[in-house]
Homo-oligomer: A and B are copies of this chain.
Amino acid sequence: MSDYYKHHVFFCLNRREDGGACCCDHGAEEMFEYAKKRAKTLGVHGKQKSRINRAGCFDRCSEGPVIVVYPEAVWYTYVDSEDIDEIIESHLINGQVVERLKI
Contacts and interface: CB of A to CB of B under 8 A. Distances in A.
A59 interface: yes
Interface residues on A, range: 20 to 34
Contacts of A57: 53-54
Main DSSP-derived SS at the A contact region: loop
Interface stretch (A3-11, A16-24, A85-93): A3-11
B2 A74 contact: yes
A73 B10 contact: no
Contact of A73 (B60, B68, B70, B75): B70
A59 to B, nearest CB: 7
Nearest to A103: B1
Interface string A57-101: 111100000001011111100000000000000000000000000
